[in-house]
C-alpha cells in the first residue's frame, strides 16, 4: 500500500468534460486534503484555481507524466459536501463540464482565490455559536485570558453584541474577535435584528390547510405545486411556512424570477421577520455576493432570497425551498451552463429531504403534469384573499377595426369610461420602440439588420433604428436605398407609438411608459412605481415588465394591444407562454375593491385555446394545451435535448450537425431516440452567426441521457472563432 500514488482529481474551470489529475503539492499530507478545497495548479503555460473532487490511487495518465499541484488554498473545504455532490450531479445531467459548473455556482471572489473568511462588516452583531457555548472559558490556558473574557461575555449575551458594546468591557476587541471566529466559537450577523415586526395575517381556510399540510412534512421531501391566482395569498403562505421553519432553527431559500421584483418581496420579508435575511441577484457587487453566500453557508442568514443562481447557495441547515412564479422562463439559464434553477431546487430539496413549494398562478405544463400524475402535491388557493374579485374578459375582433391605429374603438371607449371614473388603466404591448418596420411605399424595401435575419425597430425617443437581437444601432434612413424614393412608412406599433396615440386621443390623461428603455436608469423603476401607487398616473403603457409581480391596486382596465404573436408562434411552448402572460397581465387588474376588466385585441378571435383561456380559465386552458402536447409527443410527454451549432459562414453549422447526426444514427440502433434535423434555426442569422440545430427526442429520460453520454465524446471539440456548438438539455425553446 505504501507505494500507491496519491492522485488528486481536480475540477478546472475550462470546457473540459472530465476532471484533471494532479499529484499533491510538495509538503502536503494527504490527510490534509478534502474534497471541496481549492488548489492552485499548473495548467498549460499558466496556473489556475481548481476544486478538489476526490483523492484516488490511480489515473489514466502515467504517474510520471502527472504534474503536482502548486498549493492548497483552503484549510478546510469551501464547498459543503451536499453542494459539491449536487454540482457533480448537475454536470452529469446537463452534460456540462464540471469545472464550469462549479465556477457558475461559486461567487466570483472565491473563483479568484479570495478567502472564504468574512472581514467584519460594519454594524455586525457578534454571537456565540453552538460550539462556543460548549466551551468553558475557565478551561482556557492563562495566555488566552482575552479569549476567555470575550467568550464569557458573549455567552452571557445570547442576543449578541456589536463591536462598540464589546469595546466598553474589553478595549480593542477586534483581534480577539477574529481569533474566536477562527475557532468557530463565535460568529457575526450582518443585519442587526429589528425591534418590531409586522404580525402575520390570519389565514383563510384554504391558506391554513396548505400551511398545515406542508408543515406535517417538514422532515421529508415534499414537492408541491402551490396553484393560486394572483392575489390569492401565496406569499402569505410562504411567510408563515418560513416562520415555522425558523422556529425549528432551520433556513429557507426563496427563488424569485426578476431583479426588479426584489425590493417589494424583500420588504415584505423584512417587515415580518426579526432574523438576518440576505439577498442575491445580478446587481450585487462581488463583495456583497460573497457575503450573502458565506452568511448562508455558515448558517448565519436565516432566509436567502435570490434570482436564478441563488439555487446554488449552500445552506448550513436547509428547512424549505420556495420557487415563486415557477413557470417563469428566467429560471432557465440561456447560455453556457443551461440549467433550470427550478429543477435544481427540486433536486436539492429531494437530497436535503425537505419540502419545496412551486408557487404560481399559471403553472408550467411540466409542473402541472407532475401534479396531475401525483408526483407533486397539488395545493390550490382558489380565491383571491381579501375582497378582490376576478376580472372579466372580452376579445376585440381587429379584422373589423381600422388599421390606422393600434387602438380599436371598443378599447378607446373603455379607456374613456375608466378615465372618467378616475381609475387606472394598464395597456400591455410586447414590443418596445415606436414601430417595428420601416418600409418603402414605392418598392417594398424593408430596413433590416446587417447581422441578423431581423428587421430594425424605429425608436422615436432616441430617433434611430435599432436591432433588438444584436443591439446594432443605425441612423434613421429617409431615402429608400433601393429606389431612392422619399416616401418611407413606419408600420406597426411599439410602446412609444401607443403612448403617442394615447396622448393625442386623451390629451389630459397622465400617461406613463414602462419598458426597458424608459427604466434604464437605476432608480427609474422605483420612481415610476411610486408615482403609480400615489395615483399620479392615469394610463400605464408597457411591455411584459408590467406583467410580473407588481401590485397596481388602482388598475381596473387592462388592454392587451396584440396577442397574436403568441397564438401561432414558431415554438412548441408559444401557446403556453401566451396563456401565462395573458393571465399574469390581467392579474394586475382589480386587485382592490373594483372589479377589473380585460380587453384583448386579436385578429384571431376564434382561436380555440384563447377562447378556452378567457372563458374557462387557466386550468382548463392548460389541460387542453397538455392534450395537444401529448398528441405531438412533446414535453412533458417526452424528453428533449437540443444540439445547437453556429458558424460565421452559411454551411459549417449544418455540416457539423450532419456529422453529429451520422454518429448518432450509428449509436441509436435500438431507435430509442428520435433525431430531427439538422435544420437552420428559426432566426438563422443572429449577431453575425449562422445558426442550426439538431433535436433529440426520447420517451425515456434515462435512455436519452445514456445516449448523450456515449454520443457527446464523439463530437468534434469545436469551439473556434468560426464554429461552435452547445448542448441544451430540457430546452425551453427551439429558437
Catalog residues that contact Zn ion under the rule CB under 5 A.
440, 442-443, 445, 449, 451-452, 467, 469-470, 472, 480, 482-483, 485
From residue 329 to residue 368, what is the string marking binding to ligand ADP with x (rule CB under 6 A)?
----------------------------------------
Site membership for ligand ADP, residue 231 (CB under 6 A): yes
CB 230 within 8 A of CB 587: yes
Closest CA to 427 of 492, 512, 506: 512
Instruction: Pick the stretch among 195-203, 511-519, 639-647, 714-722 that binds ligand ADP (CB under 6 A).
Output: 195-203
Q: Out of Zn ion, ligand ADP, none, which partner does residue 445 contact, by CB within 5 to 8 A per kind?
A: Zn ion
In the chain, count of helices (H) and strands (E)? Answer: 22, 30
Q: CA 586, 591, 594 angle in degrees (round to 5)?
A: 100
CB of 531 to ligand ADP, least distance (A): 20
CB of 586 to Zn ion, least distance (A): 33
Strand partners of residue 301: none
CB of 500 to ligand ADP, least distance (A): 33
Residue 450 vs 630, nearer CB to Zn ion: 450
Distance CA 556, CA 172 (A): 60
Q: Out of Zn ion, ligand ADP, none, which partner does residue 68 contact, by CB within 5 to 8 A per kind?
A: none
Residue 469 vs 551, nearer CB to Zn ion: 469
Closest CA to 575 of 624, 636, 642: 624
Instruction: Pick the stretch among 74-82, 197-205, 246-254, 502-510 that binds ligand ADP (CB under 6 A).
Output: 197-205
Q: Which of residues 376-405 bind ligand ADP (CB under 6 A)?
A: 385-386
Residue 264 vs 329, nearer CB to ligand ADP: 264
CB 449 within 8 A of CB 456: yes
Q: Out of ligand ADP, Zn ion, none, which partner does residue 470 contact, by CB within 5 to 8 A per kind?
A: Zn ion
Residue 385 vs 447, nearer CB to ligand ADP: 385
Site membership for ligand ADP, residue 233 (CB under 6 A): yes
From residue 262 to residue 291, what is the string marking binding to ligand ADP with x (rule CB under 6 A)?
------------------------------
Q: Which of residues 202-221 bind ligand ADP (CB under 6 A)?
A: 202-204, 207
CB of 441 to ligand ADP, least distance (A): 48
Site membership for ligand ADP, residue 481 (CB under 6 A): no
Q: DSSP states of 616-643 as a string? A: H-HHHHHHHHHHHHHHHT-TTSSEEEEE
Q: What b/e string do you get for 357-376 counting C-beta neighbours within 10 Å, with b at 16 or more?
A: bbbbbbbbbbbbbbbbeeeb
Number of residues that bind ligand ADP (CB under 6 A): 15
Number of Cα atoms under 13 Å in the Cβ half of residue 207: 21
Q: Name every residue whose Cβ is closer than 8 Å to that of residue 719 and which is 6 or more positions away in sequence.
A: 15, 725
Q: Out of Zn ion, ligand ADP, none, which partner does residue 347 contact, by CB within 5 to 8 A per kind?
A: none
Element (H, E) at 543: none
Residue 472 vs 564, nearer CB to Zn ion: 472
For residue 471, count CB atoms less than 10 angstroms from its CB and return exposed for 0-12, middle for 13-18, buried for 19 or more. Answer: exposed
Distance CA 79, CA 442 (A): 65
Residue 207 vs 518, nearer CB to ligand ADP: 207
Distance CA 242, CA 254 (A): 10
CB 579 within 8 A of CB 618: yes
Strand partners of residue 560: 428, 600
Q: CA 603, 604, 609 angle in degrees (round to 5)?
A: 150
Q: Out of Zn ion, ligand ADP, none, which partner does residue 440 contact, by CB within 5 to 8 A per kind?
A: Zn ion
Instruction: Pick the stretch among 157-165, 178-186, 230-238, 708-716 that binds ligand ADP (CB under 6 A).
Output: 230-238
31: DSSP letter: G
CB of 677 to Zn ion, least distance (A): 24
Site membership for ligand ADP, residue 596 (CB under 6 A): no
CB of 159 to Zn ion, least distance (A): 58
**CA diameter of the chain:** 96
Site membership for ligand ADP, residue 588 (CB under 6 A): no
Residue 511's Cα: distance from chain center in Å?
Answer: 31
Q: Out of Zn ion, ligand ADP, none, which partner does residue 124 contact, by CB within 5 to 8 A per kind?
A: none
Q: Out of Zn ion, ligand ADP, none, which partner does residue 452 contact, by CB within 5 to 8 A per kind?
A: Zn ion
Angle between helical axes of 234-247 and 205-215 (0-180°, round to 10): 40
CB of 562 to Zn ion, least distance (A): 22
* Alpha helix positions (H), 184-233: 205-215
Distance CA 231, CA 483 (A): 56
Q: Out of ligand ADP, Zn ion, none, which partner does residue 235 contact, by CB within 5 to 8 A per kind?
A: ligand ADP
CB of 199 to ligand ADP, least distance (A): 12
Q: Out of ligand ADP, Zn ion, none, which partner does residue 480 contact, by CB within 5 to 8 A per kind?
A: Zn ion
CB of 254 to ligand ADP, least distance (A): 12
Task: Write out the residues near ligand ADP by the rule CB under 6 A.
Answer: 201-204, 207, 228, 230-236, 385-386
Amino acid at each position: 500500500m505504501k507505494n500507491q500514488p496519491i492522485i488528486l482529481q481536480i475540477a478546472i474551470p475550462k470546457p473540459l468534460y472530465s476532471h484533471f489529475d494532479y499529484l499533491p503539492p510538495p509538503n502536503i499530507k494527504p490527510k490534509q486534503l478534502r474534497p471541496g478545497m481549492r488548489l492552485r495548479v499548473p495548467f498549460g503555460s499558466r496556473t489556475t484555481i481548481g476544486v478538489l473532487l476526490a483523492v484516488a490511487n490511480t489515473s489514466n495518465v502515467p504517474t510520471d507524466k502527472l504534474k503536482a499541484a502548486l498549493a492548497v488554498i483552503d484549510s478546510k473545504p469551501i464547498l459543503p459536501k451536499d453542494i459539491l455532490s449536487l454540482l457533480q450531479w448537475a454536470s452529469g445531467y446537463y452534460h456540462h463540464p464540471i469545472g464550469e459548473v462549479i465556477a457558475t455556482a461559486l461567487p466570483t471572489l472565491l473563483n479568484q482565490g479570495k478567502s472564504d473568511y468574512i472581514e467584519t462588516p460594519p454594524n455586525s452583531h457578534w454571537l456565540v455559536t453552538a460550539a462556543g457555548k460548549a466551551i468553558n472559558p475557565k478551561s482556557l490556558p492563562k495566555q488566552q485570558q482575552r479569549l476567555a473574557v470575550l467568550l464569557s461575555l458573549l455567552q452571557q449575551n445570547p442576543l449578541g453584541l456589536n463591536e462598540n458594546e464589546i469595546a466598553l468591557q474589553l478595549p480593542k476587541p477586534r483581534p480577539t474577535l477574529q481569533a474566536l471566529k477562527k475557532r468557530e466559537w463565535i460568529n457575526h450577523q450582518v443585519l442587526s435584528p429589528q425591534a418590531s415586526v409586522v404580525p402575520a395575517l390570519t389565514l383563510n381556510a384554504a391558506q391554513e390547510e396548505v400551511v398545515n399540510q406542508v408543515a406535517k412534512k417538514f422532515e421529508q421531501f415534499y414537492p408541491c405545486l402551490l396553484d393560486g391566482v394572483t392575489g390569492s395569498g401565496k406569499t402569505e403562505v410562504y411567510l408563515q411556512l418560513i416562520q415555522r421553519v425558523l422556529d425549528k432553527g432551520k433556513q429557507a431559500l426563496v427563488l424569485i424570477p426578476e431583479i426588479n421584483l426584489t425590493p417589494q418581496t424583500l420588504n415584505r420579508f423584512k417587515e415580518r421577520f426579526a432574523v438576518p435575511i440576505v439577498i442575491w441577484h445580478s446587481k450585487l457587487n462581488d463583495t456583497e455576493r460573497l457575503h450573502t453566500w458565506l452568511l448562508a453557508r455558515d448558517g448565519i442568514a436565516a432566509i436567502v432570497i435570490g434570482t436564478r443562481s441563488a439555487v446554488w447557495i449552500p445552506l448550513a441547515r436547509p428547512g424549505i425551498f420556495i420557487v415563486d412564479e415557477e413557470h417563469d422562463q428566467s429560471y432557465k439559464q440561456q447560455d453556457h451552463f443551461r440549467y433550470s434553477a427550478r429543477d435544481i431546487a427540486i433536486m436539492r430539496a429531494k437530497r436535503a429531504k425537505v419540502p419545496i413549494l412551486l408557487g404560481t398562478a399559471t403553472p408550467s405544463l411540466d409542473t402541472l403534469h407532475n401534479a396531475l400524475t401525483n408526483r407533486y402535491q397539488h395545493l390550490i388557493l382558489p380565491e383571491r384573499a381579501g375582497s378582490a374579485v376576478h376580472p372579466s374578459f372580452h376579445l376585440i375582433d381587429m379584422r373589423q377595426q381600422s388599421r390606422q391605429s393600434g387602438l380599436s374603438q371598443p378599447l378607446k371607449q373603455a379607456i374613456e369610461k375608466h378615465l372618467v371614473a378616475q381609475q387606472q388603466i394598464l395597456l400591455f404591448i410586447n414590443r418596445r420602440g415606436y414601430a417595428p418596420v420601416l418600409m418603402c411605399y414605392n418598392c417594398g424595401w424593408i430596413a433590416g439588420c446587417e447581422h441578423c435575419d431581423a428587421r430594425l425597430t424605429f425608436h422615436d425617443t432616441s430617433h434611430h433604428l435599432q436591432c433588438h437581437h444584436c443591439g446594432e444601432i443605425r441612423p434613421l434612413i429617409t431615402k429608400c436605398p433601393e429606389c431612392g424614393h422619399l416616401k418611407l412608412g413606419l408600420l406597426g406599433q411599439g410602446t412609444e407609438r401607443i403612448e403617442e396615440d394615447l396622448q393625442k386621443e386623451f390629451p389630459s390623461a397622465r400617461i406613463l411608459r414602462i419598458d426597458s428603455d424608459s427604466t434604464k436608469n437605476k432608480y427609474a423603476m422605483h420612481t415610476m412605481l411610486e408615482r403609480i401607487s400615489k395615483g399620479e398616473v392615469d394610463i400605464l403603457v408597457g411591455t411584459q415588465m408590467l406583467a410580473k409581480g407588481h401590485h397596481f391596486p388602482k388598475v381596473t382596465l387592462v388592454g392587451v394591444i396584440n396577442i397574436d404573436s403568441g397564438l401561432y408562434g414558431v415554438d412548441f411552448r408559444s401557446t403556453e407562454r401566451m396563456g401565462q402572460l395573458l393571465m399574469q397581465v390581467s392579474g394586475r387588474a382589480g386587485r382592490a375593491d373594483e372589479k377589473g376588466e380585460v380587453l384583448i385585441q386579436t385578429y384571431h378571435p376564434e382561436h380555440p385555446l384563447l377562447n378556452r383561456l378567457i372563458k374557462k380559465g387557466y386550468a382548463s386552458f392548460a389541460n387542453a394545451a397538455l392534450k395537444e402536447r401529448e398528441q405531438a409527443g412533446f414535453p412533458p410527454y417526452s424528453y428533449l435535448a437540443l444540439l445547437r451549432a453556429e458558424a460565421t459562414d452559411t454551411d459549417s453549422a449544418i455540416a457539423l450537425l450532419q456529422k453529429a447526426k451520422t454518429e448518432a444514427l450509428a449509436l441509436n440502433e435500438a431507435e430509442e431516440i428520435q433525431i430531427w434535423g439538422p435544420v437552420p434555426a428559426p432566426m438563422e442569422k443572429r449577431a453575425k452567426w449562422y445558426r442550426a440545430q439538431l433535436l433529440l427526442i426520447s420517451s425515456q429520460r434515462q435512455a436519452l441521457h445514456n445516449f448523450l453520454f456515449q454520443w457527446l465524446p464523439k463530437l468534434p471539440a469545436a469551439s473556434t472563432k468560426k464554429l461552435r456548438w452547445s448542448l441544451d438539455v430540457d430546452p425551453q425553446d427551439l429558437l
